[in-house]
Amino acid sequence: GLDNFNDYYDPSLKRARQALLERSGIFIVEGDINDVALLKKLFEVVAFTHVMHLAAQAGVRYAMENPSSYVHSNIAGLVSVLEVCKSANPQPAIVWASSSSVYGLNTKVPFSEKDRTDQPASLYAATKKAGEEIAHTYNHIYGLSLTGLRFFTVYGPWGRPDMAYFFFTRDILKGKSIPIFEAANHGTVARDFTYIDDIVKGCLGALDTAEKSTGSGGKKKGPAQLRVFNLGNTSPVPVSDLVSILERLLKVKAKRSIMKLPRNGDVQFTHANISSAQRELGYKPTTDLQTGLKKFVRWYLSYYGSGKKSAQ
């Protein structure tokens, strides 16, 4: 594994994940994907057959505060990874994280991989869309085998504290009011919440079915695999329902404050058509939101306690 342990959110959570991984025999290198010398060194030490590239600056709203961090991680960082992969011998197959945010302002649902993705609603979405175009280029020129995965609102234990389900849990326990967005004309804001274990199965399915890259020494020998898949749960849930489930699990009434959806990159709804991933990857999500949140809350309470030790 490779991580730069930046402080976009509490690094101690990242360190705790690292300890968990290392107990399972997974070694984590501390470093940055933009450090090309380091990446080259890693490839000299191990002839990697597959690269799972999940590093990115995440979050839709933070892009308005720190746009350059998105360009640095999601565009320059992806190019750094692909540059090292294309020069490696043998070239690895690459599976990487795109995002459901590439569907942007699309109104036709459910979102299908064949839909246009040229109307991003946030800089984050634009960098992920740019990543898909960059992947196309490296596949075309260098014969790199590339599979992009469009994740739909991933949640669960050990997740990101900047995600709504996570900070809702924290704030409900603290008795703080939580913002629930609604679209124009009291429209419902809904998300296709996908439980982490289901996403992991999709990632493994993508690795297992990835074909070998066709280039060597940075030269393409023949056409290589280029794929993109939605990994979602196919049942969008209104955010207000998410809050109701959390209230039941935490046995605390939430203080809801209904607010207009701001124009900061959030879209009204996401809904995945996953027939392609089902067919090609054997992807079949099995965890509904109720079950997944129950597992998350159990983890949250054991990790942070009942809100006394707070999640920053």
Catalytic residue numbers, as ranges: 124
Taking the C-alpha atoms of residue 21 and residue 216, their distance in angstroms, rounded to an integer, is 32
- Beta partners for residue 111, in sequence order: 272
Task: List helix spans (H) across the chain.
Answer: 11-23, 36-45, 67-70, 77-87, 123-142, 164-174, 196-209, 239-250, 275-281, 289-304
Measured distance CA(214)–CA(228) in Å, rounded = 18
Are 52 and 3 in contact, with CB atoms under 8 Å apart?
Answer: no
The radius of gyration of the chain's CA atoms, rounded to the nearest angstrom, is 20
Pairing relationship of beta strands 154-155 and 50-53 according to DSSP bridges: unpaired
Kind plus residue range of the DSSP H or E element containing 147:
strand 146-151
Which residue, 101, 63, 95, is CA-closest to 78? 95
* Spatial separation of the C-alpha atoms in residues 311 and 166, rounded to whole Å: 9
- Name residue 259's amino acid: M
CA angle 187, 250, 247 (to 5 degrees): 25
Give the residues across from 190 on adjacent strands. Answer: 238, 269
Q: Are 233 and 272 in contact (CB under 8 A)?
A: yes
> What are the residues facing 229 on neighbouring strands?
149
Tokens 């302002």 map to which residue? 105
* Both tokens assigned to 107: 């109104």
